[in-house]
Amino acid sequence: MQVATHHQRILSGMRPTGALHLGHYHGVIKNWIRLQDTYQCFLFVADWHALTTHYANPGIIHTSTIEMVIDWLATGIDPEKATIFVQSQVPEHAELHLLLSMMTPLGWLERVPTYKDQQEKLKEKDLATYGFLGYPLLQSADILIYKAGLVPVGEDQVAHVELTREVAKRFNHLYGKEDKFEEKLAISMRKMGKKQVKHYRNYKRAYQEKGDQEALLAAKTLIDSQQNISIEDKERLLGALEGGGKVILPEPQALLTPAAKMPGLDGQKMSKSYHNTISLREDPQQLSDKLRKMPTDPARVRLHDPGNPKNCPVWQLHTIYSDEETKNWVQAGCQSAKIGCLDCKTPIIDAVLTELAPIQERAKAITEQKVQETLQKGTQMAREEAEKTLQEVRQVMGLTPLF
């Protein structure tokens, strides 16, 4: 695709944590599945990111990657729609990371909130490493190498997208300067056609004089859609919107995942480290057992003790899985002690089983070979796109090919 910026392009990554659980599904994957229909999506396994914290026990990365991709495919991430790949198979990410590291102030990385937080939290690991400090910049390289416009992430990752924006801004400031920018801009504009130029000018004015964000977006979309002008022209037209030089690395935006906080079996957030998960490929019998054993409102010691759903992790699951009628039945039945906790859990067990049945069915048919083929195809596409950006970056950073 011959466009300089991809405001409609999505990039997101996930660390290879092995088989996925309901928390991943409701928190991330369902969102990705929705997005792949509307946007061009690049979705990857962030195995280098896993190494920043798991460098001492890398043994699990390989199988975790395969298991995770099986679950991606089984849930409906579609390799015909999205480009699916593994980070370490696209070494271009590492080259961009290195080049960006030359111009990224150390203080920016030290100030990323997750840096100190995670070091505190994961005390048992020595995270006073170079790789761990640089990890958000590696993430910036992941995003910028595809010139992605939107990055779906959870709350905890927003600061990383913010850093990416700062890095892109600094990069463009340092390397986007051009001699005779105005003259070259005029030439680029002429290639657009009269009507388009008029729109472009109007949008630019609305943005620069009134701060109209929609006009800015409209202008970017207009530039994106131009078929007959070069990447350089587009970068110039884009750069002129915000003043200054060319926009070589466009600033991405975080697309905050609508927070579906999936409660785990104990009411805390579902997470592998809390041992409170239901995996997508959990055996149905085991799944039912786990849910049946879930703790409930401690006030309900005996069947005729009334309870309050507010104090019960099972209720949190009802808010995700049940319709109004069922929820009303739970509220009334719990507070009047008319239903037992096992009755209350039955609709949840049914709903989860129904949700997972087709996923499990599809997963059975996904072989390791299918995963390999998918990744191979995705990797090739990703590398082609990544290489385009790198060629530009190398050039503006003085690394012109010598032969």
Q: Are 310 and 320 in contact (CB under 8 A)?
A: no
Binding status of residue 334 toward ligand SF4 by CB under 6 A: yes
Residue 286's alpha-carbon distances to 83, 290, 291, 322, 353, in angstroms, are 34, 6, 9, 21, 11
Please report how close the Cβ of residue 341 comes to ligand TRP at its closest, in angstroms: 35
Select the binding partner of residue 300 from ligand TRP, ligand SF4, none (C-beta < 5 to 8 A, by kind): ligand SF4
Please report how close the Cβ of residue 12 comes to ligand SF4 at its closest, in angstroms: 35
193, burial (CB in 10 Å: exposed 0-12, middle 13-18, buried 19+): middle
Closer residue to ligand TRP in complex, CB, 11/352: 11
Alpha carbon distance 209, 238 (integer Å): 16
Please report how close the Cβ of residue 339 comes to ligand TRP at its closest, in angstroms: 39
Binding status of residue 265 toward ligand SF4 by CB under 6 A: no
Edge-to-edge strand ranges of the sheet holding 6-14: 82-86, 40-45, 6-14, 148-153, 253-256
* Max Cα distance, the chain (Å): 84
Please report how close the Cβ of residue 253 comes to ligand TRP at its closest, in angstroms: 12
Helix, coil or strand: residue 282: coil
Closer residue to ligand SF4 in complex, CB, 245/309: 309
Alpha carbon distance 394, 248 (integer Å): 11
CB-CB neighbours of 76 under 10 Å? 16
Helix, coil or strand: residue 84: strand
Please report how close the Cβ of residue 356 comes to ligand TRP at its closest, in angstroms: 23
Closer residue to ligand TRP in complex, CB, 254/317: 254
CA nearest to 244, candidates 184, 190, 172, 165:
172
Sole window of 23-31, 58-66, 161-169, 292-300 interacting with ligand SF4 (rule: CB under 6 A): 292-300
Select the binding partner of residue 312 from ligand SF4, ligand TRP, none (C-beta < 5 to 8 A, by kind): ligand SF4
Q: Are 64 and 22 in contact (CB under 8 A)?
A: no
Of positions 29, 330, 356, 363, contacts ligand SF4 by CB under 6 A: 330
Binding status of residue 315 toward ligand SF4 by CB under 6 A: yes
Sole window of 243-251, 255-263, 305-313, 373-381 interacting with ligand SF4 (rule: CB under 6 A): 305-313
Alpha helices in 231-283 (DSSP H): 231-241
Closer residue to ligand SF4 in complex, CB, 153/348: 348
Of positions 217, 339, 351, 353, contacts ligand SF4 by CB under 6 A: 339
Closer residue to ligand SF4 in complex, CB, 148/344: 344
Please report how close the Cβ of residue 266 comes to ligand TRP at its closest, in angstroms: 23
Select the binding partner of residue 344 from ligand SF4, ligand TRP, none (C-beta < 5 to 8 A, by kind): ligand SF4
Select the binding partner of residue 153 from ligand SF4, ligand TRP, none (C-beta < 5 to 8 A, by kind): ligand TRP
| Exposure letters 78-110 (e unless 16+ CB within 10 A, then b) | ebebbbbbbbbbbebbebbbebbbeebeeeebe
Closer residue to ligand SF4 in complex, CB, 253/346: 346
C-alpha Rg value of the chain to the nearest Å: 25
Tokens matching residue 145: 């190498």
Binding site for ligand TRP (CB under 6 A): 11-13, 15, 46, 49, 139, 142-143, 151, 153, 157
Length of the chain: 403
Return the residue matching tokens 């919107």. Answer: 241
Closer residue to ligand SF4 in complex, CB, 79/264: 264
Please report how close the Cβ of residue 160 comes to ligand TRP at its closest, in angstroms: 6
Binding status of residue 312 toward ligand SF4 by CB under 6 A: yes
Residues of the shown chain interacting with ligand SF4 in the complex, contacts defined by CB under 6 A: 296-297, 300, 307, 309, 312, 314-315, 330, 334, 339, 341, 344-345
